[in-house]
C-alpha cells in the first residue's frame, strides 16, 4: 500500500497488477509504462510486467493501517478483470469490511461483471467512461446495490451529452496525460460540469492532462472543482469520504 498522488484519493492498495485493453480509454494507460518500468528495475511484484498478476500477500494490508484513509483499490489494474477469480474478489471485499476504518474506492471498465457481482458490498464503486460509445457502463453501475456510485470520465476523449445521472452520486472528469496523450476539448468538460450542476451532483475536475499535466493544471473556467459527495448522500460507514477536501500518474482515471 502506498500514498497516492491521485487528486481524488489518499492511498492505493494494489492486490492485482496488470490489465488488458478493452476500449479506447485504455490506449495510453499510464500503468502499462509504470509496470514495465518497475519490471526493468527488478521489482519482484512487477516481474510479469503488465500481465495480470495477483498479490495475495497484500490483501490483508489495510488492517495494518490504523489511521483512516480514502483508499483506491487497484490503481494499476481492474479488480473485475476476467482473470481475477471470484474468490479473490470476495476476499478483497472481506478485508474491506474488516478494515472498516478506511473508505475504499473501486473503479472498473468491466461494468458487466461489476453488475453481476455488485450485491456483495456497499463500498463506493464507479465505472470509467471515456466517450458516449461506452455510456452503457453507467447502466450496469446503476444496477449494483452499492450506496455511493461514481463516474470517472477520464480520459475524456469525446463529448458525452445528455448523460442519465439518475442514481449517480459523484462525477470525476479529467484529460489524458503522458507522452502520447490525446487532447480533451474544453467544451466536453464544461458540458459534463453543467449537467452535474443541473442535476445537483458533485463535480470533481481532476486535470487537463497533456504531456505536462502540472503545467496545464486543474483550472476550469477560472476555478478548481473539488466537489465530493456530502455526508447526506452516504451512510455512516462511508461518511469519511465526505470529510476529504482534497485518473495520469498513479491515477483513478484510465482504467
The long-range contacts involving 228-234, CB below 8 angstroms and separated by at least 24 positions, are 228/8, 228/170, 228/202, 228/204, 229/148, 229/150, 229/169, 229/170, 229/202, 230/202, 233/148, 233/169, 234/147, 234/148, 234/169
Domain-embedded: residue 253: no
Rounded to the nearest 5°, which phi and psi values hold at 95?
-75, -25
Q: What's the grid cell of residue 15? A: 492486490
Domain-embedded: residue 3: no
| C-alpha R_g of the chain | 17
Domain-embedded: residue 255: no
Domain-embedded: residue 140: yes
DSSP per-residue codes, 160-180: -TT---TT--EEEEE--BSTT
Asked if 69 and 102 touch (Cβ cutoff 8 Å), the reply is yes
Nearest partner of 74 among 148, 152, 35, 18, judged by Cα: 18
Domain-embedded: residue 248: no
Asked if 119 and 96 touch (Cβ cutoff 8 Å), the reply is no
Say what the pLDDT of residue 6 is.
59
Domain-embedded: residue 35: yes
pLDDT tens digits, one per residue of 140-163: 999 887 788 999 999 999 999 999
Say what the pLDDT of residue 147 is.
80
Kindly tell me if the per-residue pLDDT of 202 is higher than 90: yes
Say what the pLDDT of residue 236 is.
40
Q: What's the grid cell of residue 62? A: 489495510
Domain-embedded: residue 254: no
- C-alpha 88/C-alpha 183 separation (Å) is 37
Kindly tell me if the per-residue pLDDT of 3 is higher than 60: no
pLDDT tens digits, one per residue of 51-62: 999 999 999 999
> What pTM was computed for the model?
0.77
CB atoms within 10 A of CB 3: 11
Q: Which domain range does residue 166 map to?
A: 9-242
According to DSSP H, which parts of the chain are helical? Answer: 30-40, 86-98, 111-117, 136-142, 186-199, 213-216, 239-242
Domains in the chain, number: 1
Domain-embedded: residue 113: yes
Amino acid at each position: 500500500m502506498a500514498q497516492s498522488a491521485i487528486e481524488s484519493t489518499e492511498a492505493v492498495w494494489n492486490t492485482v497488477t496488470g490489465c488488458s485493453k478493452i476500449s479506447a480509454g485504455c490506449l495510453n494507460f499510464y500503468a502499462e509504462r509504470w509496470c514495465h518500468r518497475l519490471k526493468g528495475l527488478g521489482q519482484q511484484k512487477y516481474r510479469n510486467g503488465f500481465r495480470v498478476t495477483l498479490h495475495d500477500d497484500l490483501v490483508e494490508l489495510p488492517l495494518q493501517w490504523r489511521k483512516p484513509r480514502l483508499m483506491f483499490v487497484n490503481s494499476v489494474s481492474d479488480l473485475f478483470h476476467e482473470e481475477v477469480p471470484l474468490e479473490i474478489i470476495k476476499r478483497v471485499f472481506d478485508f474491506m469490511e474488516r478494515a472498516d476504518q478506511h473508505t475504499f474506492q473501486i473503479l472498473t471498465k468491466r461494468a458487466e461483471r461489476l453488475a453481476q457481482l455488485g450485491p456483495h458490498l456497499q463500498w463506493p464503486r464507479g465505472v470509467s467512461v471515456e466517450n458516449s460509445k461506452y455510456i452503457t457502463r453507467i447502466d450496469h453501475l446503476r444496477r449494483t446495490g452499492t450506496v455511493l456510485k461514481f463516474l470517472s470520465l477520464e480520459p475524456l476523449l469525446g463529448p458525452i451529452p445528455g448523460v442519465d445521472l439518475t442514481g449517480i452520486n459523484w462525477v470525476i472528469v479529467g484529460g489524458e496525460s503522458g507522452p502520447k496523450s490525446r487532447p480533451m476539448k474544453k467544451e466536453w468538460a464544461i458540458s459534463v460540469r453543467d449537467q452535474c450542476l443541473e442535476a445537483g451532483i458533485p463535480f470533481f475536475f481532476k486535470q487537463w492532462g497533456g504531456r505536462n499535466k502540472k503545467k496545464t493544471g486543474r483550472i476550469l473556467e477560472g476555478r478548481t472543482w473539488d466537489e465530493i459527495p456530502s455526508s447526506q448522500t452516504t451512510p455512516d460507514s462511508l461518511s469519511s469520504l465526505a470529510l476529504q477536501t482534497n485518473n495520469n500518474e498513479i491515477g483513478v482515471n484510465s482504467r
